[in-house]
Chain A
C-alpha cells in the first residue's frame, strides 16, 4: 500500500488514509531515540576526556636542588646508573640519615628505580608549582612558560628556578606505590588491594545467599501473604540509599560483631587495633548492599527459564531438586551472572557506606588479611579530590582511570565466565 499515492476507497468511510502521518510520527520518535543515544555517548565521552585530561600534562616544578647539577656529564638524573645514584646520595646526605636508610634496606640492594625515587625525595625535593591538563599541554604549549612564571611570582618563587616537565600521573609507579602525603609519590596499590579484597568477600557472601534466596522465592515459595511481603521488601531494599547500609554495617558488623570482625575471637592481633573497622566488616556490609539486587536479578533469570523445560524434567519423574539443579539453574546462570556483574560494579564504586563503617584514608601497607584496616579506590579518589592542591586533582583523575580499568577487568572476567556457561548449554 505504500506505493499507492491516493487513498483507497475500498474500505468506505471506516478507515481514513493516515499513512503519511504514521510515517511522520515514526520518524520523529526515531530521531528522539537517536538523539538520546547521542546524548549518552557525548556525556560518557566528556567524562572520559575530563579524567584523561587531568591525568597527563605539563607540570611546573621547583627544586630544592636542581637535578641537573647532581649529574656530571649533563645526563638526565633518571638515566643515571645505580652506582652513580648511590654516589650522589653518599656525597649529599648526612651520615646519620644514610645510616637510617641503610638500616631500612642497604642502598646496594635497592633497584635503580628505588634509588632514583630516594634521590628525588631526599635531595631534589621537587615541589609542584602549577599543573596543566592534557588539552593545554597539547594546544597551548607556547603559553605555559609565561603562565608558570606568573604563578611562580604570585607564590613568591623565583621564576628562574622553575622547570616545566611533562608528567604522566598514571605511571607504573602510581599503580605500584602505597599511599603517601606527597602527591608525587602517592599511589593506589593499597587502595586496589583493599577494593579487591572487599569485592572478593562481597561476592563470596552475597552470591550464594542471593542465588539461594532467589531459587527459594521463585521455585519453592508458595503465594502466601508472608511471601508476598518478603518479596515486596526485597524489591524495596534494592532502592535503599547505600549510606543506610553503611549505618547498618556500622551497627551490626563493626560494633555488634566487633570480636568477630576484628579477628579477636580468631586470635588475630594486628599491628594496631582495628576496632572492627576491617575488610571483613566492609565486605559483609557491601554484601548486604548488593544482596537485594542479586536476588531480584536471580529471580528474573529463573523466571525466564521456559516452563516447558521444567515440565519436561518432571515428566520423566525428576524431583523438584533435580529439575532445579540440572535444568533451571544451568539455564538461568547467564542471567544470574549478568546481575552479579551489575552488583559487583555497584559495590566496587561505593564510597558512602565504607566511610560510615570507618575506612581508613591513609594506609601505607597492603592489607594482609580480612582483619586488616583498609582503604579503597573510591575512598582514595574522594579524599584526594577534597585536597586543594592541583597535583592531588591530577592523581585523583589517574585513580579514577585505575578504578575504571579495574572495573572493566573484573567485568571482563565475569563475562567470559558467563559465555562459557552459555556455550555449554547448547
Chain B
C-alpha cells in the first residue's frame, strides 16, 4: 500500500487531522489506524486517530500522561479487548484488513502483532519455556531440535543468548530486569510476528539496560516493524524513525497532534504545543 503524503497546515490546530508520514519513498504501510476512537465505558479516551506506520521502521508515540498513547498501542493488537469496558470505533488496517472486523479473531491478530510490556513479565517458567511456550501454543510443528534452534535464534536476535546459553533451564525470573525485558522481546519475536508493540519497555530499567534495548530495537527493525510508546523524549529522538505526538483536548480525550519523521518533530515541529512539550515547557 502506498502512503499518500499530506502536508497541509491545519486551520484549527486542536482538531484531529489526517496525518501520514511525510517521507515514504519506498515505505509500505505495516498498520494503519483510520478514525480510531477508543472508549472506556462512556469515556472517550482517544478520538479520531489517523496514523499509518511504515514497515521496518521504529515509530515512537510520545505525549503527556493520560493522552491515550498506550491505549492506541494496545488497540493495534486488540489488547484492549481484555478490558471489559473498553471498545474501539473506527478501523485499524493490517495488511489491508480491518482487525476490528467481526470475522477477525483477536488471537490471530495478537499472534501477528506481538507485544512487550512496561514491566518485564516473563512467565514463571524456565528461560527455554518462556520462548518455546508461545511457539507451542501456536501449533509449532517442528521437533525438539527445531524448537532448540528457534529458542537459540530468538535469544540471539534479542541479544541475550550469550548471557543465558548455559542456564536455559533456570527460571526466567532469576534474570536481571534488563535481561528479563530482553527475554520478553525474544518471547515476542519467537512466534515470528510482523509488528512488535512496545509499551514503555525501558521505564523500569537502568540507563545501561535501556541502551541495550535501544540498540536491540535498531537491530530488530531489519526484520520487524516496531511501535514504541515512551515517556522519554531523548529515547524517542534517539531510536525512532517516525514520531507521533499525542495530547489531550479539553474533555480529556487524547488525540494525535502531530506526526512526522523524528527529525522533523524534534527539530522543526509544526505545532506550538509539540514544541512546548519536547522542549520541556509542559508535560
In the complex, the answer to whether A315 meets B79 with C-beta atoms within 8 Å is: yes
* Those of A31-84 within 8 Å (CB) of chain B: none
The yes or no answer to B182 lying at the interface (CB within 8 A) is no
Chain A minimum-CB-distance residue to B106: A314
Q: Which of B110, B116, B124 contacts A314 (CB 8 A)?
A: B110
In the complex, the answer to whether B137 meets A311 with C-beta atoms within 8 Å is: no
Chain B positions within 8 Å of A319 at CB level: 107, 137
Q: Which of A222, A308, A314, A326 contacts B119 (CB 8 A)?
A: A308
The yes or no answer to A316 lying at the interface (CB within 8 A) is yes
The yes or no answer to B138 lying at the interface (CB within 8 A) is yes
Chain A minimum-CB-distance residue to B190: A316
In the complex, the answer to whether A316 meets B111 with C-beta atoms within 8 Å is: yes
Distance (whole angstroms) from the CB of B107 to the closest CB of chain A: 5
User: By CB atoms of chain B within 10 A, which of A309, A312, A426 has the most?
Assistant: A312
CA distance A313 to B130 in the complex (A): 10
CA distance A318 to B132 in the complex (A): 12
CA distance A176 to B84 in the complex (A): 58
In the complex, the answer to whether B121 meets A309 with C-beta atoms within 8 Å is: yes
Chain A positions within 8 Å of B112 at CB level: 317
The yes or no answer to B171 lying at the interface (CB within 8 A) is yes
In the complex, the answer to whether B133 meets A326 with C-beta atoms within 8 Å is: yes
The yes or no answer to B49 lying at the interface (CB within 8 A) is no
The yes or no answer to A223 lying at the interface (CB within 8 A) is yes
Distance (whole angstroms) from the CB of B16 to the closest CB of chain A: 28
Known A308-B119, A310-B82, A426-B171; contact A317-B138, beta-carbon cutoff 8 A: yes
CA distance A351 to B103 in the complex (A): 56
* Those of B119-172 within 8 Å (CB) of chain A: 119, 121-125, 133-134, 137-138, 171
In the complex, the answer to whether A425 meets B114 with C-beta atoms within 8 Å is: no
Chain B minimum-CB-distance residue to A222: B84
Q: Which of B77, B121, B171 contacts A312 (CB 8 A)?
A: B121
Q: Which of B84, B107, B117 contacts A311 (CB 8 A)?
A: B117
Chain B positions within 8 Å of A317 at CB level: 107-108, 110-112, 114, 134, 137-138, 191
Chain A positions within 8 Å of B124 at CB level: 309, 331, 425-426
In the complex, the answer to whether A312 meets B84 with C-beta atoms within 8 Å is: no
User: By CB atoms of chain A within 10 A, which of B137, B138, B187, B188 has the most?
Assistant: B137
CA distance A383 to B190 in the complex (A): 66
Chain B positions within 8 Å of A310 at CB level: 82
Residues of B within 8 A of A (CB): 77, 79, 82, 84, 107-108, 110-112, 114-117, 119, 121-125, 133-134, 137-138, 171, 173, 184, 187-188, 190-191
Please name 17 further chain A to chain B contacts, defined as beta carbons within 8 Å, in addition to the given A316-B190, A326-B133, sorted by A numbering: A308-B119, A309-B121, A312-B117, A312-B121, A312-B123, A314-B110, A315-B114, A316-B137, A316-B187, A316-B188, A316-B191, A317-B107, A317-B134, A318-B107, A318-B134, A326-B137, A426-B173
A-B pairs with beta carbons under 8 Å apart, 6 shown: A311-B117, A312-B121, A312-B123, A316-B188, A319-B137, A326-B133
**Complex A-B, nearest 9 residue pairs according to Cβ-Cβ distance, in ascending order:** A317-B111, A316-B134, A315-B115, A308-B121, A312-B121, A318-B137, A322-B137, A317-B110, A425-B124
